[in-house]
Amino acid sequence: MVYAGDVESGERVIAPFRALTTPIADMVRPMRYPEIYQPEQEGYHPVAAGRTMFVNAIDRSVADTILNYLQASTGSMAVAQLRVLGGAMARVPADATAFAHRASRIMVNVAALYERPDEKAIHEAWVTDFAAALRQGDGGAYVNFLGDEGEAQVRVAHPGITWDRLAAIKRRYDRPTSSGSTRISRR
């Protein structure tokens, strides 16, 4: 959870969530933005298998599915991140920016972190199955959480006219030089 504002107001906003039940671990606390990204431990270089999608609702059945998948993972860390969308973001026209999923209700990112390259197939299969179990009617994807999933997923992240507009901008500003490298022109 994130509340951007004064601490007292933030505490009031998250109080109803804390009142739902006794948490297994409560790591929600006031912090400055740089604290979110702590320095990595020396020698620790995990790899992540992940998928991103949008869903319409999280009911008890979906919550149970999430918990079951997280408990079944053999990764060093298994994650299901839920981001409720809407508000001011939803009031911007879908074709106004590169982010076209303004009507999507919830963004979900599932991931497994692991350390050994020989575990890749296991964790890729887990995230693929997990994402399939959660997928609902919204077929979109959030570009900043895409991995090496191919051009089809990149197109899903930029549907319809959004893709066309971004491609036109890229053509306009990416100008090859005589050496074949790309140069950004300023017109």
Report field, pTM of the whole predicted structure over 0.85: no
Do 103 and 27 sit in the same domain of this protein?
no
Alpha-carbon Rg for the chain, nearest whole angstrom, is 20
pLDDT score of 49? 93
Do 33 and 110 sit in the same domain of this protein?
no
Provide CB contacts within 8 A for 41, sequence distance 6+.
none
pLDDT score of 186? 39
Residue 167 lies inside a defined structural domain of this protein: no
CATH code: domain of residue 76: 3.40.462.20
Secondary-structure percent of the chain, ordered helix, strand, coil, rounded to 5? 40, 15, 45
Residue 104, CA distances (Å) to 79, 100, 138, 180, 187 in order: 21, 9, 7, 40, 35
Domain extent, residue 121, equals 45-158
Do 67 and 144 sit in the same domain of this protein?
yes
Q: For every one of its 187 residues, what pLDDT tens digit does the chain have, with 9 covering 90 and above? A: 788 889 999 999 999 988 998 888 888 899 888 887 777 778 777 889 999 989 999 999 999 999 999 999 999 999 999 999 888 888 888 777 878 788 788 999 999 999 899 999 999 999 999 999 999 987 788 887 887 777 888 888 888 888 888 888 888 888 765 555 554 443 3
Do 27 and 77 sit in the same domain of this protein?
no
Do 14 and 50 sit in the same domain of this protein?
no
Do 154 and 101 sit in the same domain of this protein?
yes
